[in-house]
Amino acid sequence: MKQLFVIGDSISCYYGRHLERMLVGVMAYDRKGGSHRLIGLDDCTDGVNGGDSSMVLTYLTEVVNQDWFAPDILLLNCGIHDTKRNQETGELQMPLPAYSAKLNRIIDLAKRSGAAPVWVRTTPLNPEAHRPENAIVWHESADIDNYNTAADQIMADRTVPVIDLFSFTRKLGEDIYLNGTDHVHFNDTAAAQQAAFLAGWLAQFKS
């Protein structure tokens, strides 16, 4: 049975529990912060959430040297955290050139590990969400589009398959965000639909 390993942000944590169930008998499921823990990394880096591209790179740099890390497929995503924009300075958490450079290094590591990397496009923001007055960071849809476009080009250049979870999620309707008001996270019904979409895409790798 093929082995799947997931490194992704909190969106992947929501759909991940459904994806694991849907892949039973199809492929083995594990993820960052799952059945194995790294020694010597802080809890944030070694936790379930993949975080931004810098954290993914730090984690992957360590994990590829572990004897237990031998997935056939490496499902990857980062972007939501990278596009956090400081509302006072306008600065992004990870400027686009740095993001692109880190994605290339992430793909280098993934391919060197022997796993087949598969990229998941960053999901859309809730257009109805309102920024709290005291919010220090916020996301902008234009940034999501720009970072997805940059990742698309990198994956095309590196011949890495891309799962367009962004476009799929946009077709799910309006009542898809957590509590109806969350800016980035999805409710359980939407997360299950995202998982089904991913499971269907991944099924082609089962043999």
Here the CATH number for the domain that contains residue 30 is 3.40.50.1110
Number of other residues whose CB lies within 10 A of the CB of residue 124: 21
Instruction: Work out the average pLDDT over 124-129.
Output: 95
Q: Is the pLDDT of residue 204 over 90?
A: no
Q: What is the DSSP letter of 179?
A: G
Q: Could you count the other beta carbons within 10 Å of the beta carbon of residue 14?
A: 20
Condensed to tens digits (0 to 9), the pLDDT of residues 9-27 reads: 999 999 999 999 999 999 9
Distance CA 34, CA 118 (A): 19
Q: What is the 3 state secondary structure string of 28-56?
A: EEEECCCCCCCCCCCHHHHCCCCCCHHHH
In terms of residue numbers, what domain contains 57? 2-205
Mean pLDDT of 21-41: 88
User: Is pLDDT of 175 > 90?
Assistant: yes
Average pLDDT over residues 136-140: 95
The closest alpha carbon to 17, from 195, 187, 165, belongs to 195
What value, to the nearest 5°, has the Cα angle with vertex 66 and ends 155 and 43?
85
Contact 9, 50 (CB under 8 A): yes
Q: Are 31 and 12 in contact (CB under 8 A)?
A: yes
Whole-model pTM?
A: 0.95
- Is the per-residue pLDDT at 46 higher than 90? no
Q: pLDDT above 70 covers what percent of the chain?
A: 97
Number of domains in the chain: 1
- Report pLDDT for 174: 85
Which value, to the nearest 10 degrees, does the dihedral of the CA atoms of residues 39, 43, 49, 53 take?
A: -80
Least-confidence region, from 39-48, 76-85, 160-169:
39-48
Q: Quick one: pLDDT band at residue 80, thresholds 50, 70, 90?
A: very high
Judge whether residue 33 has pLDDT over 90: no
Query: Is pLDDT at 43 greater than 70 in this prediction?
Result: no
pLDDT band of residue 44 (cuts 50, 70, 90) is: low
pLDDT of residue 70: 94
Q: What's residue 37's pLDDT?
A: 77
Q: Measure the CA dihedral 191/196/202/206, to 10°.
A: 130
What is the predicted pLDDT for the residue at 207?
62
Residue 61 pLDDT grade (very low, low, confident, very high; cuts 50, 70, 90): very high
Those residues whose C-beta lies under 8 Å from the C-beta of residue 47, and which sit 6 or more positions away, are 32, 33
Measured in degrees and rounded to the nearest 5, phi and psi for residue 105 equal -70, -35
Backbone angles phi, psi at 103, to 5 degrees: -60, -40
The better pLDDT of the pair 45, 117 is held by 117
